Amino acid sequence: MITEKVNLRFGILTALIVLAAFSRIIPHTFNFSPLGAIGIFGAAHFSKKWMALFIPLAATWVSDLFINNVIYAKYYPTFTWFAEGFYWQYAAYILIVIAGFFIMRKVNTKTVLFGALASSTIFFLVSNFGCWPGSIYPQNFGGLMQCYAAGIPFVKGTLMGDFFYCAVLFGGFALVQKQVPALRTANA
């Protein structure tokens, strides 16, 4: 009985994360993405930390494969396993999950909102830092600040995506938990 509860919970959590990751194929504004939210969501609901890291990263990578090789295939001459600079984005996602371990010890509206804000902040800081080396900006502190300033217009999309997808994921799972009481007590 316990194993069935764990398998059901794991399956539902994983399905929600995969569906959110693939929602990236829906036309959207710049940086409106579920990826930060799935990191926070995974950190909050998987009891095993390796699952909280692996499941969101795997869903992100599989959705990247689809996006890069199907939707944007004309921009890549061969099959693309990883887009250029992927390591900065994935580093940001890993940091988001790690931050989620600390922020999401208790799931409530306040921690979900703070988690979404932390996710957007981490992604902005890491991704823009990753754009700076070798860019058009001077390779000094002033150039780094110029690079961050250039990224500010994209923060709105990141914030909107993180808040929207956190609401959908956490709210959706809470609704499912009300309908399926076994999900409230089982740990994935």
pLDDT at 188: 62
Residues 56, 42: contact at Cβ < 8 Å? yes
pLDDT at position 185, please? 66
pLDDT class of 186 with cuts at 50, 70, 90: low
Task: Decide if pLDDT at 1 tops 70.
Answer: no
Residues 64-80 as b/e (b if ≥16 CB within 10 A, e otherwise) read beebbeeeeeeeeeeeb
Q: State both tokens at 131.
A: 């754009």
> pLDDT tens across 96-154, in order?
999 999 999 999 999 999 999 999 999 999 999 999 998 899 999 999 999 999 999 99
Give dist(CA 66, CA 42) in Å, integer.
Answer: 22
Span 169-183, mean pLDDT?
Answer: 91
H or E segment and range at residue 162: helix 141-179
CA angle 31, 33, 38 (to 5 degrees): 145
